[in-house]
Structure 1
């Protein structure tokens, strides 16, 4: 059953004496709450509480037309947010950016419009803080890097377990045709092309659907007379591929090596049980990292810059070698143990952010979240 995303306002902060509350609205680019989106939601709320941010989540229904209506209502509302966060879509970017600029609502996009496939937008919208002064910046994850990292891991594991295999057949199960999926494709294709022992037999789109992913795997395994490695764009689809593999008598991590994205709880269990080879993740923290930047911005620090943008963070891998150390970073109950104020430039006095997994582990291992050490 489709779960409704609850609008959540955070009104209490451990550091409420620092600034007046900042009112931020985040339009989630989804039509239902999957485990991934629940984690994004919970971690961002934990960060907002630490930073005295009133964070309102609304659902964009995973479609630009629904999101357009949400933005229109925000612009027309009597009380407007101090800042709006959303995934901009190239077909409606110009219209929505113009509305927000006219309403003088600062906004940050989670899109990567500097990606080469979106260059046709540049004459219309330019870069952040150029044509649209209220467009503060882009905040995005490097999905190309994540897919490259994951595919390298899968190929390495396959060659280690099956050293006599002359040709590693790779299947990719993508989620859709959106920009992030194109970036993933660029990453895993680069990895396969660099390995003279591997070949990408097919890149199929399963639209994030479990049953489709399982059926596609079984059918394509038979069509290509075997598959050695599967990279899925989500752990949800990766787990489906595992079930499909077992249905036809394959042994995961012996006959076939499967990886996904998101650090899903089922995926973590699958890694511990040596069913799933690896999961790429860390982007569940992306909106929380943005909360740290928003806090610093309202402390008059220059954290959003005009011109060409860079990824805000990189993906990390969880596999059998580090799952015990990394697992706690995926626990919903542990998110409030992290003091997100400690990641702000206001606290660190540094000119760059340290949004690394090592920094996260240091935070979560502290005895109390009332201090940064």
Structure 2
């Protein structure tokens, strides 16, 4: 073969390889995640990082936008995606129902032919009754996946109460007094965490819920609320919070009043930030539940399977799965930090796929398994 022929031969090979590469990219599954959290918020950063890790493992083209806790921005992002030229639109958009934005976002994306998936928080009963569910009222909303948030509220409240009784923190009336800093009044996640708290309280008539407030997931607001709650309810020795950031706000208020978290007042929280894990280890935080930051990553697995012919409807279209682990002992928190504390996601998501593992009959999204 002469030099020119060899050159032409290799040029053809390169051209074919590039064409194959671009065809592969063009036909790759693509998913966009509209992250409702702030881009500097530990929980939502971790959740987004897990989504990226799952997408990378499964060969999914992905992009992510942070709404910065602004529910109107969620809808603005959805409109911008729907307005793209057809060839630049993603196959799927992953949404949450924070501040009840899911229905509105689906209405924006569906006319553009974009399929959607609800992760972290799904439809409320009132929304389902009015509009219908996934694939019926919303044909392009293929399904939802929620962490069983009632577990988080129940696990943390039960542990908090047990420790309070063990330490004899009852008030002069012989009752154990608790105050609650909940999330918000509309997000399903917040509502179900509160139900978990109420379930634990129903099992302990010796515990009194003095008052519940809504901290809107903010540390500063929770600190302000806790300060006047403690003045109003001086016998309160337990503080249950719906997130770790609000727990830290409550701690700030306690310390300003000269009270020591973990000794004078016991606190619980939800989420798995490094700061929260360190507070469990130091004894400042009595109970913590987490692991649900993986919900978006598991949703990626379900979207991948659906796209490749294995419909998760065999388990249900609106799934509510166990994802929470209780951290109320230093050893468990230390184990979490050892595996996840660097920000890495040490999980091979291909093992979770039913398409890639035909013998798998059920999705296993229990976080405790990942720790062990």
Q: Same fold (TM over 0.5)?
A: yes
CA contact (8 A) 1:130 1:306 kept: no
- Unpaired runs of 5+ residues, structure 2, are 1-23
**Structure with greater helix percent:** 2
Q: Sort the Cα spacing of 1:99 and 1:304 in 2 relative to 1 into closer, same or farther, 3 A.
A: farther
> Paired residue for 2:154?
148
> Paired residue for 1:245?
254
Q: Sort the Cα spacing of 1:250 and 1:311 in 2 relative to 1 into closer, same or farther, 3 A.
A: same
Q: Normalization by structure 2: what TM-score? A: 0.83
> Paired residue for 1:87?
96
Cα distance per residue 1:155-181 (max 9 Å; x no partner): 011111227662111111123222222
> Paired residue for 1:26?
33
In the TM superposition, what are the counterparts of 1:317-328 in structure 2 within 5 Å?
Answer: 317-320=326-329, 322-328=332-338
User: SS at the partner of 2:356?
Assistant: helix
Report which stretch shifted further, 268-277 or 290-299: 290-299
User: Per-residue deviation at 1:123?
Assistant: 4.6
Equivalent of residue 134 in structure 2, options 117, 128, 132 = 128
Cα distance per residue 1:19-69 (max 9 Å; x no partner): 963210010112443111111121221111111111100123433332222
Equivalent of residue 268 in structure 1, options 258, 272, 277 = 277
> Paired residue for 2:15?
none
User: Per-residue deviation at 1:111?
Assistant: 6.5
User: Per-residue deviation at 1:92?
Assistant: 5.9
Q: Superposition RMSD on alpha carbons, in Å?
A: 2.5
Report which stretch shifted further, 211-220 or 152-161: 211-220
> Paired residue for 1:172?
180
Answer yes or no: is 1:51 the counterpart of 2:61.
no
Answer yes or no: is 1:217 the counterpart of 2:226.
yes
User: Per-residue deviation at 1:95?
Assistant: 4.9
Aligned length: 341
CA contact (8 A) 2:169 2:176 kept: no
Whole-angstrom CA distance in 2 between matches of 1:209 and 1:101: 33
User: Per-residue deviation at 1:254?
Assistant: 2.6
Q: Sort the Cα spacing of 1:184 and 1:277 in 2 relative to 1 into closer, same or farther, 3 A.
A: same
CA contact (8 A) 1:137 1:305 kept: no
